[in-house]
Structure 1
Amino acid sequence: FLPGLFDLTSFRVSYDVEYVYFDTTFREVTNTWNAPEGFSHQLINIYIDTTKGLGRTDTIRKGAMVAFDKRYGWDILIKALGWGGCRAFTSNDDEEAKGISDGLEAGVLPDGKTVRVKVPLPIIGQPEASWGYYVLIGSQDAFGDDDFRPVMEEASSWTFGGGSNLEFSPNVIDMLAPEGGRFSQERLLGSYDAGKGILAVLVPASAGMARRGVALFGLSSTPMIIVTVVGLLLVGGAVVVWIRRKGFGVPPG
């Protein structure tokens, strides 16, 4: 795989009167296998905590091999992949649920690096600054659990390296998280305990800053005027988090 395909560099949320737009930007996006959505490799799962005190702490299906902080349970899942389109799920769905696909679309923006997922506004409602986002990036594998390609200790023809061969190791390659501190990607994804059968527990990107009154996401009613900034600095009313990654080996070829 081309280096950078799974390196998430920014995440933006915006909306208009018809749709909510989720923009995930990567260092590289290619469409080697001519996927209808315009990207062949990335698997994007966006879990959204919309309602305080509600939601669930597990994924709908086994695949990502992570769990979510019980204080910030997710209420809505947006799943996007190049093969199979986009679907929205709710926390009430079970593993057999098909999700909602009507009106959802994904495609690559003209910059060639941003995958935009558009979701009809009535499905999830108007985004609020209090919402929390778990943005999980995997490698799409049609034969993998919940479409995730496994991340093992060593890379092989069909698996990534840099993880662990233990059953409870995450298959998430990148995620939205602050660059450092207790909520960094390394600390969250490394919080699993295979011996005790405990999955890594994640927190949404906004949760770590809530107590300090810092908003991590800017919302705009017009996608064209979203302000993108870097770091954890408040500029123009919008904040985007730096992404910090641990090293992963890629399958040969």
Structure 2
Amino acid sequence: AAISYNVGNGGPTLDQRSVIDAGFLELVRLGLKPFNDTAVTESLPVVDTTIKTDTSSGSGWHRYNGDGYGDGASDGHPWAPSGKGTGHLWPVLTEERGEYDVSNGDTSTALALLSTMKNFASGVGLIPEQDWELPNLAPSPYGTDPTVASIGFQNGHPAGSAAPLTWSAGVYVRLLVDLTKNSVLERPADTYNRYVANQQGQTSLTVTAPPDKSSVNGSPVTVTGTSAAGNTIYVAATNIDNNSETTVVSTLTNKSDGSFSVTVPITGGTTVLNTVAVSPSGATAHDQRTIVFDLTPGKVVFDVTDPSNDDNGPGNYAYPTASDFHAGAFDIQEFRVIISPDGSTVTFKLQTRDLSPTFGSPLGAQLVDVYVHNPSAASSNTSTAASFPQRNYAIDSSAAWNRLIEVQGFGQRYIDAHNNTVGTVAISANAISRFITFSVPTSSLGGQPGSGWGFTVTLTGQDGFSPDQARGFASTPQPFQFGVCAAPSSNPHCAVDPSTVPKVMDTITPSGVSQSNELDYLLHTPVTLHDVVIP
């Protein structure tokens, strides 16, 4: 996926698809993959092109491209205390490649790499953490500030890192022993026999329910499907939101048609279902799928639905054209208010028609505003203003709010009517259940929601570059702007200044109020939004 992250240790932020390391070689060393596995052999040239360097002492490898942990490449300044520098070659990675070469029978190359590790040392047994792969660098003049002074380095010899590194010494001995036996001695025999030496027999397995990436309404869940008659079916349900808590159940298939049905207890959260069929002879088949039980414990005091396909504001708005914006991303389906069992927390749940992760966040596209009307709040402590003036709408006086909760993938606002921050919002989102879940302390709301409380709920797009955090509009859709209209038109709605239209793609209207009318900026100046009220 096109997700960027910081590689740490003073290194840069990179697209994860461009970060290269050779950690996959452990799959060969530990007996999970054969040395000639295609994924391994096709990855090695990429590794060598990206993070291998030949030195006067022999070949070495960086941990990964962009590594910032080590003495600065340009001037040799130490990594500490600035926490910024340049990563260099790690002798332990030379040993790692040597063990791979032992695995594939290339002992001459493995022996050369063992010799390289010896050359990398500063003395007998003093193999360092890192070695300098760059041209020789003279030490800084005497008296230079030690926080920036270079101690001087030579190509193929120790950098300013730990020396000796016991890890380096340990793997040197390991490679030496491997070479004397012409075998990788620390490879688990059972693992190697299971995944490399023997070809596992295959049997049939088709899981028919529940669908992959589906939402379930409770526990237990019934897993159904077919396999060969007489096979044993194992289902492991692992809740990855709850410390990988796992429940395993099993059953035999029907002797006549191979069908099976297994009831598995689950708990709230995301559960991975691993279903395995095992034949009497030991042949196996496997299926994996993910389900979500989006459970928020407590009392549901309000639950309202919203029509599908009304994510077009007053009826003429259109989504941005960039592929990041998925159909249904701004289409409200349901809104709930839940009081926790102990009454200390109020949770709001907003479901959209699509909640695909966007811009690296589970709710990177959406901007949700909930204007909370507490009927007991003093009028002096309420407001009818929108979150920002640029939103181009107001709240009806009957729904004047005393709290505003605004959530998105990259920030939040939780304020009172005087623009004072009143707390922090706990926010989560799930692409499978399509619920955005956000919670606040009951005390911060000024009371516990009940009969007469109202909620004005709006959904639009977030944009961190916009002064009001909301995605802007153009006359027609642009890659990262909504369109007032889908295409040029003589319709008067399409002729207005795009900066003046209400920034609301979908809202929940009370009975008797149509969204197309409420958001019609030609009929209402300003557009005024109404709340939905707990009976």
Q: Same fold (TM over 0.5)?
A: yes
Question: Could you tell me which residue of structure 1 aligns to residue 519 of structure 2?
Answer: 189
Question: Could you tell me which residue of structure 2 aligns to residue 46 of structure 1?
Answer: 370
Unaligned runs of 5+ in 1: 207-213, 216-253
Choose 1 or 2 for highest CA Rg.
2
Question: Could you tell me which residue of structure 2 aligns to residue 18 of structure 1?
Answer: 344
Summarize deviations over 1:13-32 as a string: whole Å, max 9, x none: 01112210000000010113
Q: Residue 169 of structure 1 aligns to which amino acid in structure 2?
A: V
Alignment partners' CA distance in 2, 1:51 and 1:122? 16
| Contact 2:386/2:393 (<8 A) preserved | yes
Q: Residue 328 of structure 2 aligns to which amino acid in structure 1?
A: G
Q: Percent identity?
A: 24
Summarize deviations over 1:186-239 as a string: whole Å, max 9, x none: 111114568xxx320111123xxxxxxx83xxxxxxxxxxxxxxxxxxxxxxxx
Name which of 128, 136, 147 aligns with 2:458: 136
Alignment partners' CA distance in 1, 2:402 and 2:522? 23
Task: Determine which structure has the larger helix proportion and give its number.
Answer: 2
| Alignment pair present for 1:8 and 2:329 | no
Alignment partners' CA distance in 2, 1:101 and 1:126? 16
Question: Could you tell me which residue of structure 1 aligns to residue 442 of structure 2?
Answer: 121
Alignment partners' CA distance in 2, 1:110 and 1:42? 13
| Contact 2:517/2:523 (<8 A) preserved | no
| Alignment pair present for 1:154 and 2:476 | yes
Name which of 351, 358, 378 aligns with 1:32: 358
Change (3 A) 1:116 1:204: same
| Alignment pair present for 1:64 and 2:391 | yes
Change (3 A) 1:141 1:173: same
Alignment partners' CA distance in 2, 1:79 and 1:88? 6
| Alignment pair present for 1:171 and 2:510 | no
SS at match of 1:21: strand
Q: Residue 462 of structure 2 aligns to which amino acid in structure 1?
A: Q
Unaligned runs of 5+ in 2: 1-324, 486-493
Question: Could you tell me which residue of structure 1 aligns to residue 527 of structure 2?
Answer: 200
Q: Residue 465 of structure 2 aligns to which amino acid in structure 1?
A: F
| Contact 2:336/2:349 (<8 A) preserved | yes
Q: What TM-score do you get using the length of structure 2 for normalisation?
A: 0.34
**Structure ranking higher on relative contact order (CA contacts 8 Å, 6+ apart):** 1
| Contact 1:7/1:26 (<8 A) preserved | yes
Summarize deviations over 1:7-54 as a string: whole Å, max 9, x none: 00000001112210000000010113222xx21111000001112672
| Contact 2:366/2:462 (<8 A) preserved | yes
Alignment partners' CA distance in 1, 2:339 and 2:390? 30
Alignment partners' CA distance in 2, 1:151 and 1:34? 23
Name which of 99, 102, 106 aligns with 2:427: 106
Change (3 A) 1:199 1:192: farther
Alignment partners' CA distance in 2, 1:204 and 1:177? 7
Aligned length: 195
SS at match of 2:517: helix
SS at match of 1:123: helix
Q: What TM-score do you get using the length of structure 1 for normalisation?
A: 0.70
